[in-house]
Structure 1
Amino acid sequence: MTDAAATAGTGVTPSLVGRRVQVKVPATSANLGPGFDTLGLALAHYDELEVSVPDAPVLEIEVHGVGAGEVPLDASHLVVRAIAHTFERAGVPLPALKLVAHNRIPHGRGLGSSGAAIVAGVMAARGLLEGVVDFTPDDLLEIATELEGHPDNVAPALFGGLTIAWVTPEGPRHKKLMVHRGVSPLVLVPEHEMSTALARSLQPESVPHEDAVFNVSRSALLVAALIQSPELLLQATEDKLHQHYRAEAMPETDRLIRALRAAGHPAVVSGAGPSILVLASDPSERADAIALVEAAADTEWQALPLAVDFKGATVVNAER
């Protein structure tokens, strides 16, 4: 992270009043079966926001779509918190803000809505501070991870594609990979939510050695299946580390995943759930999976046939 104003010799932060940025952030699905807290996939389903610095020294927030009437409209709003944290890390005073959010990513469904909000705030701050402070990709990932707690959702939201995320003594790191064009993701979203904290509380402190070895093999196979050999996705999405421990908290998700996998569909819990991610190998397989769920589900599930997002979060400066 570098201070461009100081580098230019002024040492003074210019006024940000009138700056306006537009941010677009994809949904994500973490874990992908065996890649617990490591693998994540960006999906072409977006939250879009406009953030500006008004003349009046007040905070103004509008939320449209998902979360309207539910999320806070003050400084505790997660996007605003992420903007404030990024400004603090950059050593720049936080100005007044106007935020207009158009949310499409479902909340509490395992599609990375909190990670997307954090990334939206980090990217908005980056755009507002353009020419004042420069951020590297590692800076962005580190700041987002500080707020999210782990990088598996924020990495694909930031960078797109399939990401492998890990943590070093120097901070979180990632590797972005391009997904095979034959992979056709399908997300099945139920009406009910799932608490990520509750899902994590169901994880045991330790797992059997053979289960750990099993997941290491499947995680390695999953990377190969997603980038090169989609025909291996059913075997590659097998997991023994987390999904069955969480099954009691989302019985219908578990039952439908079992039915889908028995029919040959590579279905997994999306993130902490309760949504289901099917990593189909072609569009016709997605249609078959949708038909199976419609016939077998006890409650209503929304089917979202999605593409893989390859860009990640974007920010565009649109000053008045």
Structure 2
Amino acid sequence: MSAVSERTVWVRVPATSANLGPGFDTLGLALSVYDQLTVTALDSDALEIEVTGTGAEEIARDESNLVARSIWHVYAQLGIELPGLRIIAHNEIPHGRGLGSSGSAVVSGILAAKGLLAGAAELSADDLLRLATELEGHPDNVAPALFGGLTIAWVDHGVPQHKKLLVHRGVSPLVFVPSFTMSTSVARGLQPDQVSREDAVFNLSRSALLIAALTQSPELLLAATDDKLHQTYRAGAMPETHRLVTALRKAGFAAVVSGAGPSVLVMADGPGRRLEAVDVANAVTDTPWESLIVAVDFKGGTVRSTAEGAFEHEI
């Protein structure tokens, strides 16, 4: 099966924050920090990669590049000959900070493949989520990167599923990003294989409440973001993160570890409250934290042809 060659597409994908406190491996939120790239399918077997922006020096420029691998994965799954690629990327999502950078790279590649193959093969939203989950391993980060907003992700008989929800306009996110990083695999290794029934019930109640808080009642966010399944067990590996989360929650802010950390996500119940949270952070820690005042991204990943008048896809 052949595909359209020498086509160029532009892709933009948001950062994500997974877990949101009690929603471990289930809940994710898309945030208005973006990786952008243009990708051209080449007639040759060349691979050309240019990267600027956050973490550019860390990005592989060979066949191990995650965007390239994700594009080729789609082609291989569809039985289409792999193209050469020219990838020009500008990244704004911090790497290794719990903001879904690897998931966003996977989604960028999946969406680039969708655009490059337009007219030769069609990929549904379910196809995109399945392909992205195959590469990332979990749907909780790739779902909000693909679809935007607040997503609930789960796996049903081996097939990843999602539900997108609209977030209440009063929810105002703020992210504190440190200079240090945290390995997701290391963070996962710090959790026990079993938890008490009491802790499991606690998180079930808070996860249910969190859906209501994020979609209807932001004033409930502090109670709704409490957690007993993962953050406490990881605290020793991220003492400054734990210190900041504790101080912010004591001051009344719905602060959680973003993904596997070490960034901290605050879901304030109004835009003005975010500046108060910054003041709290400045007062309780001497660790340098970059504060990012962001919005919830409602659109998710976007791909469009760079040819004038050609297609644009929102998922």
TM-score by length of 2: 0.96
> Are positions 1:286 and 2:286 aligned together?
no
Alpha carbons 1:25, 1:314 under 8 Å: kept: yes
Residue 239 of structure 1: aligned partner: 227
Alpha carbons 2:176, 2:264 under 8 Å: kept: yes
CA distance, structure 2, for counterparts of residue 47 and residue 115 of structure 1: 11
| Residues 214-252 of structure 1: CA deviation (Å, up to 9, x unaligned) | 000000000000000000000000000000000000001
Match of 2:2 among 6, 13, 25: 13
> Are positions 1:270 and 2:258 aligned together?
yes
Residue 181 of structure 2: aligned partner: 193
Match of 1:116 among 99, 104, 127: 104
Residue 311 of structure 1: aligned partner: 299
CA distance, structure 2, for counterparts of residue 319 and residue 170 of structure 1: 38
Residue 62 of structure 1: aligned partner: 50
How many angstroms does 1:57 deviate by?
3.2
Residue 254 of structure 1: aligned partner: 242
Residue 31 of structure 1: aligned partner: 19
SS at match of 2:51: strand
CA distance, structure 1, for counterparts of residue 307 and residue 39 of structure 2: 10
Mapping of residues 111-260 of structure 1, within 5 Å: 111-260=99-248
- Provide the aligned length of Structure 1 versus Structure 2: 308
How many angstroms does 1:170 deviate by?
4.9
Alpha carbons 2:2, 2:81 under 8 Å: kept: no
Code of the residue aligned with 2:190 in structure 1: it is: L
SS at match of 2:10: strand
> Are positions 1:53 and 2:65 aligned together?
no
Unaligned 5+ runs, structure 2: 309-315
Unaligned 5+ runs, structure 1: 1-11
TM-score by length of 1: 0.95
SS at match of 1:116: helix
How many angstroms does 1:18 deviate by?
1.9
Alpha carbons 2:20, 2:225 under 8 Å: kept: yes
Alpha carbons 1:144, 1:154 under 8 Å: kept: yes
Residue 85 of structure 1: aligned partner: 73
Residue 3 of structure 1: aligned partner: none
CA distance, structure 1, for counterparts of residue 227 and residue 21 of structure 2: 5
SS at match of 1:81: helix
CA distance, structure 2, for counterparts of residue 213 and residue 269 of structure 1: 20
SS at match of 1:152: helix
Code of the residue aligned with 2:83 in structure 1: it is: P
Alpha carbons 1:18, 1:319 under 8 Å: kept: no
| Residues 141-190 of structure 1: CA deviation (Å, up to 9, x unaligned) | 00000010010000000000000000011510000000000000000000
| Residues 265-291 of structure 1: CA deviation (Å, up to 9, x unaligned) | 000000000000000011111000001
SS at match of 1:97: strand
> Are positions 1:40 and 2:36 aligned together?
no
How many angstroms does 1:55 deviate by?
4.4
| Residues 92-114 of structure 1: CA deviation (Å, up to 9, x unaligned) | 11111000000000000000000
| Residues 53-75 of structure 1: CA deviation (Å, up to 9, x unaligned) | 23443110001011222211011
SS at match of 1:182: coil
SS at match of 2:151: strand
SS at match of 2:297: coil
Alpha carbons 1:268, 1:276 under 8 Å: kept: yes
SS at match of 1:53: strand
CA distance, structure 2, for counterparts of residue 89 and residue 41 of structure 1: 28
Alpha carbons 2:97, 2:261 under 8 Å: kept: yes
Structure 1 vs Structure 2 CA RMSD: 1.0
